[in-house]
Chain A
Amino acid sequence: MIVGLLMLGGGAAAGLFGSLLGLGGGILIVPILTFGFDLPLRDAVGVSLVSVIVTSGASAGVYLERRIANLRLGMVLELFTAIGALVGGLVAFLLDERVLAGLFAALLVYVAVTMGRNSARRAAPSGDAGSTPPAAPDPSRRSAAFVDRLSGSDYRVRRLGPGAAGSVGAGVVSALLGIGGGAVLVPVMHLAMGVPLRVATATSNLMIGVTATASAIIYLLRGGIDPFVAGPTAIGVFLGATLGSRTAHRVDVRVLRLLFIVVLLYTAFQMVRRALGVA
């Protein structure tokens, strides 16, 4: 019983901190299950995928209802994230766990560096970093009319090709490492495709379901998801994320963000040790 409660608590902590810091819980679930409960990395990834599907569902509904998420754009891009996730899910079962640990360490360092940069950017006075001006459509493209239909009322989607390529990459990363893929998708949509940050974040959240499903099916059918571990973890993450989304506006996350960067780097160090076979 105590192990079950600890798993529930670990999931809640992952969901709470992930929600407060604008990350999915996935980046924390895998290290918690791997280092805290001695689960094989691949099994932890399978459980994490289910947890991010459950957690993203509630907020995706709200984003759609409020018309913040762009359904058309999300569906076009999730075709590519699903392809990436399918490939990643198959590759995950071919890779040695030490390779997965090395890849996870690289992801943790990437997220820590990105958070550090964002903290520095927030501290410095700047203009509106949350949106980009609408870009002019490229009339030479035959698919311009279709792309126009993906645009919002106050922004225009551009460069669908790089967006699709980035989405395949996000799907592969999601399937290999058990995360939602927002760490890749949001920058791709915002910086490469000209989608406002708020819309990119909401649309990415909507896409997590289909992206993670394409690979979770592979983990599920190959015995990579244990219901006794997935249940408490997913419920914990859901409760933690719900609490986080309701208290985020009351919490000063600056200190929390710095603490989190330290935790991510320490976890990356432990993952590197595992990758090298010394942990």
Chain B
Amino acid sequence: MNLERAIARLVTAGTYVSVGLLAFGVVGLLAAGRSPLDGGPSLDPGQIVGDIVALRPEGFLWLGLLVAIASPAARVMLALGGYLRLGERGMAVVAVLILGVIALSVGLAIGTEG
């Protein structure tokens, strides 16, 4: 499989997994009669699995959002592996730099919080 096709499939799969999780969460939210304007819980990664097991909508919504946000980074990682295999060092460096910027945004968001 060529690199473009592999990346296309990853991006598409990430999108549909994320949409499925969000849709499940939205149906649960509506079925519970809760208003979106009540305000959802803040992100607690340790709580997500428990919420999903308990079929609480917030678990599905948070996981769906995290999958959506992680998919583009996963796409860059796949591209990095592909370009290294193809011996395209220039593009591999570009991929590493993109991942570095994403990592920096995580670090700065946490480091400059509040």
A229 sits at the interface (CB 8 A): yes
Q: Is the interface of B mostly helix, strand, loop or mixed?
A: helix
Interface size on A, residues (CB 8 A): 56
Q: Which of B37, B58, B79 is within 8 Å of A71, CB to CB? A: B79
The docked-state distance in angstroms from the alpha carbon of A270 to that of B68 is 31
The answer to whether residues A54 and B39 also contact, given A227-B25, A231-B26, A231-B61 and a CB cut-off of 8 A, is no
Residues in A neighbouring B98, C-beta threshold 8 A? 75, 78-79, 82, 210
The docked-state distance in angstroms from the alpha carbon of A76 to that of B91 is 8
Interface size on B, residues (CB 8 A): 61
Q: Is the interface of A mostly helix, strand, loop or mixed?
A: helix
The docked-state distance in angstroms from the alpha carbon of A226 to that of B58 is 10
Query: Hey, what's the 0/1 contact readout for A219-249 against B, CB within 8 Å counting as 1?
Result: 0111101111111101100100000000000
The docked-state distance in angstroms from the alpha carbon of A58 to that of B62 is 20
Query: Hey, what's the 0/1 contact readout for A1-39 against B, CB within 8 Å counting as 1?
Result: 101110110000000000000000000000000000100
Using a CB–CB cutoff of 8 Å, the interface residues on chain A facing chain B are 1, 3-5, 7-8, 37, 50, 53-54, 57-58, 60-62, 64-65, 67, 71-72, 75-76, 78-79, 82-83, 85-86, 89-90, 146, 149, 209-210, 212-218, 220-223, 225-232, 234-235, 238
Q: 8 tightest CB-CB pairs across the interface, nearest first? A: A57-B15, A209-B72, A61-B12, A228-B40, A64-B8, A227-B61, A221-B109, A65-B8
